[in-house]
Amino acid sequence: KDIWSQDKCHCINGDPPTYFDYVPQYLRWFEEWAEDFCRKRKHKLENAKNECREGEDQSGGERYCDFNGYDCKGTASGKHKYLWDYKCAGCFFWCSDFRKWIAKQKDEFEKQKNKYTDEINGTSRSNGGGRQKRKARSISNDDNGYEKKFYEELKNNSEYGKVDKFLDLLSKETTCKGHPEVEVKGKKANSVDFTKDDGEIFSHTEICEPCPWCGVNGTKGNWERIDDHSACKEEELYTPKENAKYTKINVLTSGEGHEDIAKRLKEFCTKTQNGTGSGSSDGVANGSASNSDSQKLYEEWKCYQPEELTKDGRDVVEGDELNGAGGLCILQKTNGKENGKKQKTFNNFFNFWVVHMLKDSIDWRNKLNSCINNGKTIRCKNGCKTPCKCYESWIQQKEDEWKLIEQHYEKQNFGPGFSPYMTLEWNLQYDYFPSIQQAYPGVEFVEEIKKIIDENIKDLSSVTKENNSINDLLKKEEGIATECKKCQETQKPSAGGGGG
């Protein structure tokens, strides 16, 4: 039930209703915001929980995924173990959306919460004619100071003069109850309580956090997260043989969450805009290894075939996890510093890259909506120059990465009758894309990706290194970037002399 009726304000203390010409827009907006927040949070958490904890993993076992798409049953960063599972792709997509959304909601909530006292006291900048007012149906259009009287009544004659009681009232909204039970800071909750100041309702929850440091134990419904750093020891790592052959792949790093991704992308755009970064696979400007700032934007991986590696001084033997997994990729540096301990099978590395590239493509199209319209009609607006140029640089970077990934990918044994790119198309159609489509229903660009994949799956024998869905998508994005640049090249400077 609404706090405010359609035509009158119900006194919060339960007394008979008092009629007012105007219900303050701020209070009504805050109530509507809370209702909308609770409804969306519940929906997003339900989807994340379904994709991260319910159902089966790719081996038919119980699913326990993290927001990066890792299977936490086989992932423990404390042991340098990472297991990517295509059945965790949905968790990656839903949690990426949830983490981005909840961060924005937290900012909105804090602003409105801090504004409450100013509104009640009449010291808000919106006070004095700037605030919109909602008229009662049957009373004069004249304000007659009723809004001020409303706030004075609220402040002086009720317990709602302070924000905490109002937040408690908002928490009683029906949509704020019955949320998926999630754990935050060791406490479980299934409802929204706006009065709590522990960050609970605006947290990522354990569902959309990274896998625990030492992985998980248990079974469905009784999982135990092992975060104690002393609970697991580093396992013996693979070591390249002397003069081992490898494929060097520099990947634009994205960090461990939406905030990191946004920060890294902003840094990448700044450097490409200033000419201090490039889309080259070297990961440094103009191929120069001296630019340490540019190096920090990239992860330098070296990928090896199993026969090029040893473990505990012994050659990799038949039955080792690397056989059938495409070999091993080793991260050489993190933020420009030596690493070497983060190791992934090539299959994990490959799948991680493909899914993240597809998601980033979708995010880019959303970012450029004000400059392009479905890749066709150009809206030549100011503010397109920087994102269009960065988008072009990002595409070039992804093309460079893909060429190097292909070099190692093609060395795998796909069995009789299957080529590398037939396998790629099959995985895109049946493993990756269903999760994308479910996470982004009705998104125009997602449907464009689907058309590309559907066209190639019709005749698997025709897909090649030059003609496959990843290449087709990158080529399509090249065309979009070109049109985007044409838009900013032809638009007229603004009155202040800016060109976009």
User: Residues 283-291: contacts with CB within 8 Å, 24+ apart?
Assistant: 283/250, 283/252
Q: Which residues contact 136 (CB under 8 A, 6 or more apart)?
A: 7, 8, 19, 20, 21, 22
Residue 94's Cα: distance from chain center in Å? Answer: 8
48 and 179 in contact (C-beta within 8 Å)?
no
- In the prediction, which pLDDT does 9 show? 44
- In the prediction, which pLDDT does 153 show? 72
| Rg, the chain, Cα only | 27
The pLDDT tens digits of the residues spanning 400-417 come to: 999 999 999 999 888 888
- Model pTM? 0.79
Amino acid identity at 422: M
- In the prediction, which pLDDT does 249 show? 95
Domains and CATH numbers, the chain: 22-229 (no CATH), 238-490 (1.20.58.1930)
- In the prediction, which pLDDT does 158 show? 67
User: Residues 28-32: contacts with CB within 8 Å, 24+ apart?
Assistant: 28/4, 28/134, 29/112, 30/112, 30/116, 30/166, 30/170, 31/2, 31/3, 31/4, 31/170, 31/173
Spans in the chain with pLDDT lower than 70: 1-23, 123-147, 157-158, 184-186, 197-198, 220-221, 254-262, 273-295, 317-319, 334-340, 373-382, 487-500
- In the prediction, which pLDDT does 18 show? 40
Task: Return the C-alpha torsion angle 440, 91, 262, 496, nearest 10.
Answer: 10
Torsion over CA: 479, 485, 490, 494 (sign): positive
Q: Indicate the SS3 state at residue 391.
A: helix
Separation of alpha carbons 291 and 407, rounded Å: 27
83 and 343 in contact (C-beta within 8 Å)?
no
76 and 216 in contact (C-beta within 8 Å)?
no
Helix 444-457 crosses helix 420-427 at what angle (to 10 degrees)?
140
Torsion over CA: 111, 42, 361, 351 (sign): positive
